[in-house]
């Protein structure tokens, strides 16, 4: 399977037309059609349904499109890094993170690196722990911010000092809104909206003292803003981390859990994937911040001493 043919396939999937894709690629339509047929023959799968007006993807075609886009993106990033002049620091750093106020610490470090190296660009990819781990393992992310326990056999990591506090997002007219905090028993009979992250929910069930089947779980979420809309419409009470939703002037309020429940976090990167110069600078700057060191780290900063 050649990269060139993957580029052709992605172009057809994007244009939904072999004719339009051929024009964009500066190929003849017969040439492009032949390449696509050979790709299907190579894989032993039908990838395209050729209609009279447009081309649609089969289920296998949709899978190949996702994988091809990831492969082409990774190849492009690698080419840029390898071809960069010696001594130059530029390029893209990809960070996967869930919704957490702890990203502020990374943002501060990224800002200082970018001031010194304006050709370094940072990309935050939002997702829950499962999404972040999957993309780390595929090499699509340089770093991930993970809450709770991490797989120390797979990832190198830097413990972050911030802890996120769990609580309940609710309407101000809810029966529990008048309480300064919320206890497990007060939620046993309430409609609950939970984060879909298994790691966090495991600790949450332990805090609640109930098994999932004993609770009224009416919805799950992976983006708290969407969950806040469900709460605002009266669907239930959402377990959420503090400082993510600004409840000032809204119908909503946040109440912490009692006894308190918090989640520690780590910056992680895959042991088998070498960091680019730009990613290494971000890591070094973050280490300097956490150690209280003044100024920016030198370009030659290393990962020595990290687990």
Residue carrying structure tokens 């390029």: 91
The DSSP code sequence of 187-224 is: GTTSEEEEES-HHHHHHHHHHHTS-GGGSEEEEEESSH
Question: What's the gap between Cα 261 and its chain centre?
Answer: 23
Residue carrying structure tokens 């800002």: 111
Q: Which residue has the higher pLDDT, 251 or 200?
A: 251
- At residue 293, the pLDDT reads 53
The count of C-alpha atoms lying within 13 angstroms of the C-alpha of 180, restricted to the half-sphere facing its C-beta, is 2
Contact assessment for residue 62 and residue 92, using Cβ atoms and an 8 Å cutoff:
no
Give the chain's radius of gyration (CA, Å): 24
Confidence band for 300, pLDDT divided at 50, 70 and 90? very low
Averaged pLDDT score across all residues of the chain: 87
Residue 299 has pLDDT above 50, yes or no: no
What pTM was estimated for this model as a whole? 0.65
- At residue 251, the pLDDT reads 96
Confidence band for 141, pLDDT divided at 50, 70 and 90? very high
Residues 62-71 as b or e (16 or more Cβ within 10 Å = b): eebbeebeeb
- Please count the other Cβ atoms lying within 10 Å of the Cβ belonging to residue 304: 5
Reported as type and span, the H/E element at residue 252 is strand 252-256
- At residue 170, the pLDDT reads 98
Summarize pLDDT for 75-93 with one digit per residue, the tens: 877 776 666 665 567 888 9
Runs of H (alpha helix) within the chain: 3-15, 18-25, 29-43, 59-83, 103-116, 129-137, 198-208, 224-232, 277-291
Q: Which of 207, 205, 231, 208 is nearest to 218 (CA)?
A: 231
């Amino acid at each position: 399977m050649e990269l060139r043919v993957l580029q052709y396939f992605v172009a057809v999937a994007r244009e939904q037309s072999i004719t339009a894709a051929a024009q964009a690629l500066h190929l003849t339509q017969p040439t492009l059609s032949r390449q696509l047929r050979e790709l299907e023959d190579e894989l032993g799968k039908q990838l395209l349904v050729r209609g009279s007006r447009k081309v649609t993807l089969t289920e296998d075609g949709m899978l190949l499109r996702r994988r091809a886009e990831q492969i082409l993106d990774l190849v492009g990033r690698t080419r840029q890094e390898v071809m960069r002049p010696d001594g130059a620091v530029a390029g893209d750093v990809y960070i996967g993170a869930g919704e957490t106020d702890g990203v502020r610490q990374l943002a501060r470090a990224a800002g200082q690196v970018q001031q010194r190296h304006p050709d370094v660009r940072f990309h935050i990819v939002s997702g829950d722990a499962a999404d972040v781990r999957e993309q780390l393992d595929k090499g699509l992310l340089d770093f991930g911010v993970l809450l709770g326990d991490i797989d120390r056999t797979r990832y190198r990591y830097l413990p972050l000092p911030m802890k996120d506090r769990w609580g309940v997002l609710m309407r101000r007219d809810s029966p529990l809104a008048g309480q300064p905090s919320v206890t497990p028993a007060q939620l046993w009979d309430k409609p609950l909206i939970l984060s879909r992250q298994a790691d966090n929910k495991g600790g949450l069930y332990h805090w609640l003292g109930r098994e999932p089947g004993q609770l009224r779980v009416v919805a799950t979420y992976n983006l708290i803003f969407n969950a806040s809309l469900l709460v605002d419409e009266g669907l239930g009470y959402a377990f959420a981390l503090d400082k993510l939703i600004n409840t000032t002037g809204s119908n909503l309020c946040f109440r912490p859990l009692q006894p308190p429940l918090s989640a520690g976090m780590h910056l992680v990167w895959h042991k088998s994937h070498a960091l680019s110069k730009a990613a290494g600078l971000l890591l070094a700057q973050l280490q300097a911040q956490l150690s209280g060191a003044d100024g920016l780290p030198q370009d030659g900063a290393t990962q020595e001493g990290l687990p």
